Amino acid sequence: MRRQTLLFSAAAFAALGLAAEAGAQETLAQVKERGHLNCQVGLPTPGFYALADDGTWSGIDVDMCRAVSAAVFDDPDRIEYQSVTSAVRFTSLANGESDMLSRTTTWTAVRDTQLGMTFAGVNFYDGQGFMVPKDLGVTSVNELDGATVCVLTGTTTELNLADYFRANDLAFEPVTNENVNVIVETYLGGGCDAYTNDKSGLAARRSAFPNPDDHVILPETISKEPLGPVVREGDENWSDIVRWVLLGMIEAEEVGLTSANLDDMMESENPKVRRILGVEGNIGEGLGLPNDFMVDVLRSVGNYGEVYERNIGADTPIGLERAGTLNAQWTEGGILYAMPFR
Amino acid sequence: MAEPARTFRAKPDRPAPAQTVGAVGWMRRNLFSSPANTALTLIGAYFAYWVIATVVDWALLDAVWQAETRRECLDAVGRSGACWPGVFVWFENLIYGLYPKDQIWRVNAGFALLVAWLVPLWLERVRSKVAIGVSAVLAYPVLASYFFLGGDKGFLWSASIAAALTAFVWVWATAIAERRTGRTLGELVLARADALDADPRHHRRLLFYTAAAGWLVAYALVALWYLPYVTTNDWGGLFLTLVISGIGITFSLPAGVVLALGRRSELPVIRLICTVFIELFRSVPLITILFMFTTMLPLFLPVGVEVDQLVRAIVAVCLFASAYMAEVVRGGLQAIPRGQYEAAAAMGLGYWQATRLIVMPQALKIMIPTIVSTFIGFFKDTTLVSIIGLFDLLNMARAIGEDTDWLGLFIEPFFVVTLIYFAFCFAMSQYSLNLERRLDTGQRS
């Protein structure tokens, strides 16, 4: 697997020079002409890009694509989903196969600067944590010296794990696999002392354990994982569209605009609301979209809070409480802070 | 007075000792012939019992058959029993992928058509088997791809579909004609037109007109026929696995024969081309070829030109498979003694005649086991397409464990997928054994 990853990366780098020319400045026109958005997600993952048995996709990252589709087409479902492994995600974007990538991708300097990618924003702040069986009696990651740790290969998770343990002078032995279900099964079968992944993933997996209460998620968060949609570098117009659709959804939540009260709010006197809805100003025009593009987004997909609660919120099987976390609005103690929509 | 002649009367046979016949005898001979053998037998029996009992316990006795979510299964039996409802809910997807549920009949019809097309090949007294086989390889894919894809069709597309439809009607008409009368359909048509004695050019013209008339009727039917478009993105599961491996396998055999002959050719240019192609594709892993075709190819195409991802994957699999098959065929060709070539030449056969009539039939027969195991390998290799985002059988099974309702359910789907793969591979290998027996002309033991 390691050698293949290297090969993939080599190919990806080779691809970049060519891709930069190919994608410049015309994604919106291409998408419109094609009649649908090519949205890249990962292999099905609950809450973020989940595939149901009737073939429909849902999740917080899927809703990002649906919002862009709604903004461009006035229809959230003109999307062809491409579900590819993480090894080929950037190549598949670079070669023009996908118009955007929305699949729990961590925003890092190397990816942003050297892979020909542009990160359009952050739609979920995650961080890596550890889960251990309760009867191990461990309360902190620093007590895990010499532990065997289950971890997914080929992700930043594996690197973070090594970094953290080395920085804290702890020994560990990784147990790796590329299939998350195999990892979880290994952990449940006692094949490793701890299981590490993004905390959202840990919570989701624990909810499906035979006895969820027998396992604890340790308090430490050992990495920053700002996850967000990614587009090809070189098409500023397209990255602006994705960025401002996302920021518009966050701003809409901040000013209290929801899919339910949309029609009443059309009459609102609040200039912030009026600008989001395109009643005032010409933000859409600057993006090459109708001025009321956010109306379509909010009507069919909803604001950020609605998307969050519907897909990963406390009432879903994933059950991620939002209040008090990084993903709350800045007005409520989180760091979700939309640039002014004006 | 002579004594009456004493004739020998055999006493009736006594039955063999009870310990040496029947099941008991067989077991004494084979299972308990020595202390070591007895010990092995007992250990083996215990091991077999343990494996079977564990699987039966898990898959049948302790299993949950009705539940809405995996949580209900876990609450009922924990992890000691299988949770089948998740697989039931997803079963259609395992077979057909995300193909629209109300259109699934098209996939079934497509495969039924294939069976219908091939049935005449197994019927006795059908003579035109070669032509039927060729028509299946050339025409069936056209008809099937319209079944599976649907959508608008231009003139060229409609014309090809009509031709394929005509070919299908011809297959059955000729098969029935040959079974009933022992004459081909062509002869029957000519007889009906009282033109059997006319010169061959007239024959050909007459048959051509008949075919053209059939095609026109088919074209009119095809023009009226519309199926909604289903994007290849929605293809998946066993259906997709069969499409990819089926096309790969069908393509690889003739291509492999041509490449193998080319590599043994005495013309340097042809030999060089074939050798380079074979060595290139054989020395690179399939996954790399797939990756190159799916992610690098779009870079070399002009902007706006999009080749379907499935097509790219199929082309990659075909090229890889034919390179492998070429080496298998070359191995078979090398096993033919030099004398066979010389004998063919001595009879005045040219290169093509000798190859077609003397060398290939013998070589292909020797190669059956190798060819079939290569086919089985290709069939399983298609799982690699999951890496480029196609939902083949294996990837679909993986998706079940990621469904929010069935999170973590992955042993059960993989168990089912294992059974499906086993059924297909076992059927292939049994068919090859059967073929070997039928073609065995007694050269080998």
DSSP state of B84: T
Residue type, B140: Y
Short-list B176, B341, B317, CA closest to B255: B317
B387 interfacial to chain A (CB closer than 8 Å): yes
Q: How confident is the model at residue A50 (pLDDT cuts 50, 70, 90)?
A: very high
Please check whether residue B414 touches A, CB under 8 A: no
Question: Would you state the pLDDT for residue B442?
Answer: 57
Q: In CATH, what number does A2-125+227-332 get?
A: 3.40.190.10
Domain with CATH 3.40.190.10 in chain A: 2-125+227-332, 128-223
Q: How many percent of chain A have pLDDT more than 90? A: 67
Nearest-CA residue of chain A relative to B297? A95
pTM of the predicted structure, to 2 decimals: 0.85
Instruction: Give B389→chain A minimum CA distance, Å.
Output: 4
pLDDT 10s digits, A140-172: 999 999 999 999 887 788 889 999 999 999 999
CB contacts, 8 Å: B391 with chain A: 83
Three-state DSSP at A39 gives: strand
Task: Kindly report the nearest CA distance between residue B365 and chain A, in angstroms.
Answer: 38
Put simply, the answer to whether B299 touches A19 (Cβ < 8 Å) is yes
Q: What percent of chain A has pLDDT over 70?
A: 92
Tell whether the model's pLDDT for residue A14 goes beyond 80: no
d(CA B79, CA B82): 7
The ipTM, to two decimals, is: 0.82
What mean pLDDT value characterizes chain A? Answer: 88
Q: Which B positions 67-126 lie with beta carbon below 8 A of chain A?
A: 70-71, 74, 78-79, 89-90, 92-93, 98, 100-101
- Enter the DSSP assignment of B355: I
Query: Greater confidence, B202 or A239?
Result: A239
SS3 A51: strand
Taking only the tens of pLDDT, chain B with its 445 residues reads 556 678 888 888 888 887 777 888 888 888 888 899 999 999 999 999 999 999 999 999 999 999 999 889 988 888 888 999 999 999 999 999 999 999 999 999 999 999 999 999 888 888 888 889 899 999 999 999 999 998 888 889 999 999 999 999 999 988 888 888 878 777 777 777 776 666 777 778 888 888 899 899 999 888 888 899 998 888 999 999 999 999 999 999 999 999 999 999 989 999 999 999 999 999 999 989 988 888 788 777 776 677 888 999 999 999 999 999 999 999 999 999 989 989 999 999 998 999 989 998 889 888 888 999 999 999 999 998 887 778 999 989 989 988 888 988 889 999 999 999 999 999 999 998 888 888 776 555 4
pLDDT at B304: 66
User: B411: which chain A residues are within 8 Å (Cβ-Cβ)?
Assistant: 185
Please list, in sequence order, all residues whose beta carbon lies within 8 angstroms of the beta carbon of residue B221, skipping any fewer than 6 positions away.
Answer: B162, B165
Residue B113 to residue B97: CA distance in whole angstroms: 20
What is the Cα gyration radius of chain B? 29
pLDDT for position B195: 66
Is A25 a residue whose pLDDT tops 70?
no
Q: Which residues of A touch B398 (CB under 8 A)?
A: 43-44, 179, 181
Burial class (CB in 10 A: 0-12, 13-18, 19+), B224: exposed
Point out the residue among B295, B389, B398 whose CB comes nearest to the CB of A179: B398
Q: A128-223 maps to which CATH number? A: 3.40.190.10
Inter-residue contact B149 to B229 (CB < 8 Å): yes
Confirm or reject contact between B305 and chain A (CB < 8 A).
no
What is chain A's Cα-based Rg? 21
Residue B166, chain A, CB below 8 Å: the answer is: no
Nearest CA to CA, how far is A44 from chain B (Å)? Answer: 6
Q: Identify the structural domains of chain B with CATH numbers, from first to last.
A: 37-89 (no CATH), 103-229 (no CATH), 234-400 (1.10.3720.10)
A237 pLDDT more than 90: yes
A197 by Cβ neighbours in 10 Å (0-12 / 13-18 / 19+) ranks as buried
Pairs of residues, one from chain A and one from chain B, whose beta carbons lie less than 8 Å apart: 125
- What's the rounded Cα separation, in Å, for the pair A62 and A315? 19
pLDDT exceeds 90 at position A2:
no
User: For residues B98 and A10, which has the higher predicted lDDT (pLDDT)?
Assistant: B98
